[in-house]
Amino acid sequence: MVHPPRLHTAWLEAHTEWGPGQHEDGFGLDPSDEVDVDCTRMAPYHLHSVPTLRTVSPACMLMPMGQPASGTDIPLTMIRQVKLPVSDLQRSVTWYRSLLGLELGWEFVEQGVVRGAVLVDRATGLLIGLRDRTVIPGQPSLTGFDAFSLGVPSVEALHKLRDRCEQLGFAHADLMDRGPGGWQLDVPDPDGTVVRFLSPLANSGFRGVEFFTDGTMAFYDEPRLNAT
C-alpha cells in the first residue's frame, strides 16, 4: 500500500506509462483508481476504483530513477515504451521478435479476441506495444513515418542489423551517413511503419539539417526556431 503522501507520485507514474483514457485491459485510468500490478505473473495491469487506496509493486520498476534531465528537476531515465498501430497483430509480433529478439511480455484480450501485445527487451527494459488498428479511434496509419528511433552502440552494429534483415528477408533502406548525426538504417515493419536505428551521435551540441530538392543536405549551427 502507498502512504497518502506518495499517492500522487504513484498515480503520476502509472499515468505516465498508460496515459489517459481507455487501454487494452478495457479500463480508463483515473486519479482515484487503484493500480494492482503483479509482475511475477506477467499479467496486464488491472485498475479498480478505490478512492483512498493504491497498491504498487516495486518489483515492476524496470529501471531505477536517474539524475534529473538537463534544465529540469524531472528525473527522466529513458523512453520506456512505444506503442504502434498494426493491421495484423500476430504478424507484427513475429516480425519484431524475429528482428530484435524480444520476448512476448503481455497480451490483452477484449471480448475474446487478442487486441494488443507488449514485447520486452529484458536487457534494457524497453517495451514495444502493438495494438490492433481496427479498435483504435481513427484507425491511425504510420506508413512511411519513423515514429521512433532505436539506438545501437556502433556503426558495425548497423551493418549486423542490415545483414540480419537480409537473412530474414526483411526490406531495409541503405545505410545513411548523417554527418554529425551519426549513421542510420531504416527498416519498415509489415505495416510500413519505419523503425529507424541510429549509431551514436558525432556531436553533443545543436545541429540543423536542411534538405534540398536535389536530394542533398546541408548542416547549420544556429537554430531558426525560438529555443530560448
Q: Any idea where the domains of the chain sit in the sequence? A: 4-59, 79-141, 142-228
Architecture of domain 142-228: 2-Layer Sandwich (3.30)
Residue from 36, 38, 40, 31 nearest 4 by CA: 31
Architecture of domain 79-141: Roll (3.10)
- Tell me the pTM: 0.66
Label the pairing between strands 127-132 and 81-86.
parallel
Output the tens digit of pLDDT for each of the chain's 228 residues. Answer: 444 444 445 545 555 555 554 444 444 444 444 444 443 333 333 333 333 222 233 333 334 445 555 566 788 888 899 999 999 999 999 999 999 999 999 999 999 999 999 999 999 999 999 999 999 999 999 999 999 999 999 999 999 999 999 999 999 999 999 887 889 999 999 999 999 999 998 777 888 889 899 988 888 889 999 987
Number of Cβ within a 10 Å radius of residue 202? 13
